[in-house]
Structure 1
Amino acid sequence: MLYRRFGKTDLRLSVFTFGAMRYLDSKENAVNTVKEAVRLGINHLETARGYGESEKFLGAAFRAGVPRDKVYVTTKIPPTPDGETMRRQIEESLSRMGIDRIDIFDLHGINTREHLELSVRKNGCLEAIRRAVAEGLIGHLGFSTHGPLPLILDTIATGEFESVNLHYYYFNQRNAPAIELAHRLDMGVFIISPTDKGGQLFKPPARLVELCAPYTPIAVNHRFLLCDPRVHTLSLGAANPAEFAPHLVVADMGGPLSEAEAAIIARLDRQFREIPSACEQCYQCLPCPEAIHIPEVLRLRNLAVGFEMDDFARYRYNMFGNAGHWFPGTKANGCTECGDCLPRCPVGLDIPALLGQTHQMLHQGERKRLWG
Structure 2
Amino acid sequence: MLYRRFGRTEIKMPVLSCGGMRYQQSWNDKDPISPASQRNIEACIERAIELGINHIETARGYGTSEEQLGKILPTLPRERIIVQTKVSPEADPAEFLATFERSMKLLRLDHVDLFALHGVNDETRLSWSLRKGGCLDAALELKRQGRVRAVGFSTHAAPRVITAMVQDGRCDYVNLHWYYVNQLAWPAIQAAAEQDMGVFIISPTDKGGRLYEPSDKLVRLCDPLSPIVFNDLFCLARPEVHTISVGAARPADFDEHMKALPLLDGEGAAQAALAPILRRIDEELERVLGRAWLETWHVGLPDWEAVPGHVNIREILRLYNFARALDMTAYGKMRYNLLGGGGHWFPGNRADRVRELDLAQALAGAPQRHRIPEVLAEAHALLAGQEVRRLGKH
Q: What interval of TM-score do these two structures reach, taking the shorter chain for normalisation?
A: over 0.9
Deviating 4+ runs (over 6 angstroms): none
In 1, Cα distance between equivalents of 2:345 and 2:15: 25
Does structure 1 retain, via aligned residues, the 8 Å contact 2:297–2:367? Answer: no
1:136 positional shift: 0.5
In 2, Cα distance between equivalents of 1:159 and 1:182: 9
Q: Deviations over 1:43-64 (max 9, x none)?
A: 111000010111111111124x
- Which residue pairs with 2:282 in the alignment? 269
1:185 positional shift: 1.0
In 2, Cα distance between equivalents of 1:208 and 1:158: 39
Q: Deviations over 1:49-82 (max 9, x none)?
A: 010111111111124x332220111100000222
Q: Which stretch has the larger CA shift, 155-164 or 122-131?
A: 122-131
TM-score by length of 1: 0.96
Does structure 2 retain, via aligned residues, the 8 Å contact 1:317–1:331? Answer: yes
1:17 positional shift: 0.7
Instruction: Letter of the 2:371 partner, please give it.
Output: D
Does structure 1 retain, via aligned residues, the 8 Å contact 2:309–2:357? Answer: no
Instruction: Letter of the 1:236 partner, please give it.
Output: V
Does structure 1 retain, via aligned residues, the 8 Å contact 2:300–2:363? Answer: no
Instruction: Letter of the 2:385 partner, please give it.
Output: Q
Instruction: Letter of the 2:51 partner, please give it.
Output: L
RMSD of equivalent CA atoms? 1.5
Say whether 1:295 aligns with 2:314: yes
Identify the match of residue 116 of structure 1 among 126, 130, 140: 126
1:260 positional shift: 3.7
1:349 positional shift: 4.9
Identify the match of residue 50 of structure 2 among 29, 39, 46: 39
Identify the match of residue 181 of structure 1 among 188, 191, 196: 191
Does structure 2 retain, via aligned residues, the 8 Å contact 1:105–1:141? Answer: yes
In 2, Cα distance between equivalents of 1:283 and 1:315: 25
- Which residue pairs with 2:330 in the alignment? 311
Instruction: Letter of the 2:201 partner, please give it.
Output: I
Instruction: Letter of the 1:48 partner, please give it.
Output: A
Map of 1:107-186 to 2, 5 A cutoff? Answer: 107-186=117-196
Q: Which stretch has the larger CA shift, 352-361 or 125-134?
A: 125-134
Could you say what secondary structure the match of 1:332 adopts? coil
Q: Deviations over 1:95-138 (max 9, x none)?
A: 11111111110000000111011112222222221221111011
1:276 positional shift: 2.5
Q: Deviations over 1:165-221 (max 9, x none)?
A: 100001111111011111111110000100000000111111101111111011111
Unaligned runs of 5+ residues in structure 1 are none
- Which residue pairs with 2:298 in the alignment? 282
Instruction: Letter of the 1:104 partner, please give it.
Output: L
Q: Which stretch has the larger CA shift, 37-46 or 339-348?
A: 339-348
Map of 1:1-372 to 2, 5 A cutoff? Answer: 1-25=1-25, 26-63=37-74, 65-254=75-264, 255-256=267-268, 257-276=270-289, 278=293, 280=296, 282=298, 284-286=300-302, 287-335=306-354, 336-338=356-358, 339-372=360-393
Could you say what secondary structure the match of 1:171 adopts? coil
Does structure 2 retain, via aligned residues, the 8 Å contact 1:342–1:350? Answer: no
In 1, Cα distance between equivalents of 2:369 and 2:155: 31
Does structure 2 retain, via aligned residues, the 8 Å contact 1:292–1:334? Answer: no
Q: Deviations over 1:288-331 (max 9, x none)?
A: 12211101101111011100001000010000001101000111
Alpha carbons of 1:285 and 1:258: their partners in 2 closer, same or farther (altered >3 Å)? closer
In 2, Cα distance between equivalents of 1:163 and 1:128: 16
1:259 positional shift: 2.7
Could you say what secondary structure the match of 1:333 adopts? coil
Instruction: Letter of the 1:354 partner, please give it.
Output: V
1:3 positional shift: 0.3
In 1, Cα distance between equivalents of 2:148 and 2:273: 43
Could you say what secondary structure the match of 2:86 adopts? strand
Instruction: Letter of the 2:8 partner, please give it.
Output: K
Could you say what secondary structure the match of 1:274 adopts? helix
Could you say what secondary structure the match of 1:141 adopts? strand
Q: Which stretch has the larger CA shift, 341-350 or 76-85?
A: 341-350
Identity of aligned residues (%): 40
1:24 positional shift: 1.6
Does structure 2 retain, via aligned residues, the 8 Å contact 1:2–1:252? Answer: no
Could you say what secondary structure the match of 2:212 adopts? coil
Q: Which stretch has the larger CA shift, 242-251 or 228-237?
A: 242-251
Does structure 2 retain, via aligned residues, the 8 Å contact 1:275–1:302? Answer: no
Figure out how many residues of one structure are paired with residues of the other and give that number. Answer: 371
In 2, Cα distance between equivalents of 1:92 and 1:252: 40
